[in-house]
Amino acid sequence: MIKKLYIVIGAMLFGGSCMTQAQNERNEITVTDDEGKEEIIDVPEALDYEVDSLLNLYYSKTYLQPYEDCNFSNENPEYPKETYIERLSRLPNIVEMPYNDIVRQFIDRYTGRLRNSVSYMLGASNFYIPIFEEALEMYGLPLELKYLPVIESSLNPKATSRVGAVGLWQFMIGTGKQYGLEVNSLVDERRDPIKSSYAAAHYLSDLYKIFGDWSLAIAAYNCGPENINKAILRSGGKADYWKIYPYLPRETQGYVPAFIAANYIMNYYCEHNICPMHTTLPAKTDTIMVNRDVHLKQIADVCGADIEELRTLNPQYRQDIVNGSSKLSVIRLPASLTNAFITNEDSIYNYQADELLARRSLVELDNSTISTNTTRKSNTRRRASSGSRKSVTIRKGDTLSAIAARNHTTVKKLQQLNGLKGNNIRAGSKLRVK
């Protein structure tokens, strides 16, 4: 308690500058070129996710735990750059994995400050890497791309960036929809590990077709192909990531080095005394197709399931509502619950439906109110209409032209208003002038 108190007092004494420096250290790295010039590079956002938030996910709490038999010390050994160069060269990759000081800084970050996050990601990779590999294999892509979500989301399926990118692969809405991911008020398939993985593989395949170089394709995944083309143009047409590097956005300057570092640490964690979290794989799952709206709570309560597990298996349903009435929709369930759902299907749909699926498709109007309002408006119109009429008394010697001149009208209009066929009028009579 005393130690914590000193930390709080220290933060208060040093004020905002201390906090700003700490924040900058988290979000940026500084590199020095051969001429001694310092350059600041933004760190990909996911590298700053707190490990506590990762460990609070349902899969983490249920299926991950610290490896109790780990005999590694917590010491992070230092190695010469030749060791890193040799290790990277031994990776069975198609994507180029060169070493430089920027790559080294990201490796140091993973092996130092982010050691616990790496331990989590090594455990969580058992859930997600097989999905990534299947999608990449489908499009014939290098399997080392499976580590892109390490720098995109830290393998957090609920990750949402500051600019609104969502899910393991961090799709923006526009790109997600372009690659077939449905996003609306009820559904966000960017959160679906399977569908988003196939969409990401498709997108990466298209980017490689554009640039013919995996480092450029990976950089384009981060900042978009337009920014890569601009950087190539500014560099004089050099289609090489390390040649266009100075012309890239700051985060993209760190993106490919972070990807190389992620490949390194996910393969050489033992050499840095990092123990993976122990993983108990979830039970097998199955899918059910529904053509009616259903709430996850209806399934959980009737079938005796854990609603948090259902949410984890179906993260695309933003409000826990499966909108089956809109189109045939998929629900992923633990395999042990499939028969229970089929047996109790009618009970599930009827359970608290009025409360959980309360969306009126028809409403009746209050006719008495409408009648009252209509009558009130009609009377108002009559008053307005009668108030607009004007008549005058014809004086001795008046003519239609004289009356028309006094009332800013014409003889013809006076004849029309009063049903006159000629110009004969009688003194003392009323004549409508408006």
Q: How far apart are CA 49 and CA 262, in angstroms?
A: 15
What tokens does 95 get?
Answer: 């994507």
Low-confidence spans in the chain with pLDDT less than 50: 1-24
Rounded Cα distance between 2 and 81, Å, is: 41
Q: At what angle do helices 214-223 and 193-211 cross, to 10 degrees?
A: 120
Do 267 and 122 touch, CB atoms closer than 8 A? no
pLDDT for residue 376? 63
pLDDT value at residue 24: 43
Cβ-contact 218, 150 below 8 angstroms: no
Q: Cα–Cα distance between 275 and 72 in angstroms, integer?
A: 7
**For 210, how many CA atoms within 13 A lie in the half-sphere containing its CB?**
19
Q: What is the pLDDT of residue 8?
A: 30
Q: Is 406 left (phi over 0), alpha (psi -120 to 50) or beta?
A: alpha
pLDDT (tens digit per residue) in 22-37: 334 557 787 766 677 7
Structural tokens at position 150: 């390490």
Q: Is the dihedral of CA 152, 158, 162, 164 positive or negative?
A: positive
Kindly list the distances between the CA atom of residue 181 and the CA atoms of 151, 197, 406, 409, 432, in Å, as whole numbers in the listed order: 21, 11, 74, 69, 71
pLDDT of residue 363: 74
CA dist 267 and 269 (Å) reads 6
Q: How far apart are the first and last CA of the chain?
A: 91
For residue 107, CA distances in Å to 78, 115, 191 come to: 11, 11, 28
Q: What single DSSP character describes residue 184?
A: S
Digit-coded pLDDT (tens) for 194-237: 999 999 999 999 999 999 999 999 999 999 999 999 999 999 99
For every residue of 135-182, DSSP letters joined together read: HHHHTT--GGGGGHHHHHHTT-TT-B-TT--BTTTTB-HHHHHHTT--
Strand 278-279 versus strand 321-323 pairing type: unpaired
From residue 349, give the alpha-carbon distance in Å to each of 287, 317, 322, 338: 17, 17, 11, 15
Q: Give the residue numbers marked as catalytic.
A: 152
- Number of H helices and E strands in the chain, helices first, is 21, 10
